[in-house]
Amino acid sequence: MNPPESRIQAWAAELGFDACRIARATRATHAPEFHAWLADGRHATMDWLARAPERRCDPREVLPGCQSILCLALNYFPGPQAPASNFRIARYAWNDDYHDLIGRRLRDFDARLQSLGGTQKPYVDTGPVLERDFASDAGLGWNGKSTMQIHPRLGTWFFLAEILTTLELQPDPPSHDHCGNCTRCLTACPTRAITAPHRLDASRCLSYLTIENPGPIPLEFRHAVGDRIYGCDSCLDACPWNRFATLSREAAFHAREAVFSNSLIDFLALDDAGFRALFAGSPIKRLKLPRFLRNVCVALGNTGSPDDLAALKHTAANADPLVAEHARWAITEIAKRHGHQ
């Protein structure tokens, strides 16, 4: 009979994962740095990261009897060129929500592992696991200077998922850091959110500011947003390891035509029902309409023309003060560029 590790690797491939490695369940390598990052307030308003932080640092606190962690990667690269549009969305959100797609596969994987006698807890960004530490421990790439995981074959364009298990499995050898002297990701960051190699200040990061941030986008960062309306790929785009990246086999990650056929000004006409219909099954839906319109207004303020002023003036009367304030800012910015009132 094949050893369990071989069967597990075969199951991962059958379920469509692009890599599967095994780490030993132990305290995370960078647990002290994580605690210091929280103490410095670099997690911004993401308070859930500071709740029971030790659980994030040790999988045995999450799953009693945990012996091993399966570290899984799924390629989501939809291509080097974004669809023709006057806005940008981070590639991972071009179409369906990866939580749903990967979650179904993890549940299937869990059922198979139960046949080996294991008890599992699967996660895809949904549980207290310092996933990049364990991925590096398992040899599934290494943690880059941007803090993003890098894989020698997938580059930066992949999702991580983990399965904590009580099965005692042979761990894979760890990865080595192959960033060398490269600092392209630091240079590429529009807001200098990567304050030093492996150090991220979330309060400056455009992904945080356009997604997790519940309030206004600070004035000092609005111009840096450019034409982005959800997330930022700048540090990922800059990584030279992406020269080896190949297109994802998952059609669910390729660009959704119904979204990219719109222009920024079209988005301003969305009501709540229209927003939910357009982004059904998309990670953008979790943003909810006010924050989405906030982002659209900033992008229009940076790139819009006088033709956009009428729609923005209508949006400036929105009942939500978050939306209204960003619309007024956009009107002012367009007027500055074009001399219109």
pLDDT tens per residue, range 13-53:
999 999 999 999 999 999 999 999 999 999 999 999 998 89
Where a domain ends, among 138, 165, 192? 165
Residues 160 and 225 in one domain: no
DSSP class of 181: T
Mean pLDDT of the chain, nearest integer: 95
Distance from C-alpha of 174 to C-alpha of 269, rounded to nearest angstrom: 50
Residues 134 and 27 in one domain: yes
Q: How confident is the model at residue 1 (pLDDT cuts 50, 70, 90)?
A: low
How many residues would you count in the chain?
A: 341
Residues 153 and 19 in one domain: yes
Q: Could you tell me what percent of the chain has a pLDDT over 70?
A: 99
pLDDT of residue 26: 97
How far does the chain reach from its first CA to its final CA, in angstroms?
Answer: 77
Can you read off the two tokens belonging to residue 112? 């198979």
Confirm whether 172 is domain-assigned: no
Residues 321 and 211 in one domain: yes
Q: How confident is the model at residue 127 (pLDDT cuts 50, 70, 90)?
A: confident
Residues 21 and 114 in one domain: yes
Q: Is the dihedral of CA 230, 95, 133, 165 positive or negative?
A: positive
DSSP class of 50: G
Residues 117 and 38 in one domain: yes
Buried b (16+ CB within 10 A) or exposed e, 114-142: eeeebebbbbbeebbbbbbbbbbbbbbbb
pLDDT of residue 340: 60
Where a domain ends, among 165, 192, 214? 165
| pLDDT tens track for 241-290 | 999 999 999 999 999 999 999 999 999 999 999 999 999 999 999 999 99
Q: Record the pTM.
A: 0.95
**Residues recognised as catalytic:** 125
Arithmetic mean of pLDDT, 154-167? 97
Number of domains observed in the structure of the chain: 2
Confirm whether 170 is domain-assigned: no
Task: Determine the angle formed by the axes of helices 4-14 and 98-114, rounding to 10 degrees.
Answer: 150
| pLDDT tens track for 69-121 | 999 999 999 988 778 789 999 999 999 999 999 999 999 999 999 999 999 99
Q: Which domain holds residue 65?
A: 4-165
pLDDT surpasses 70 at 341: no
Residues 159 and 188 in one domain: no
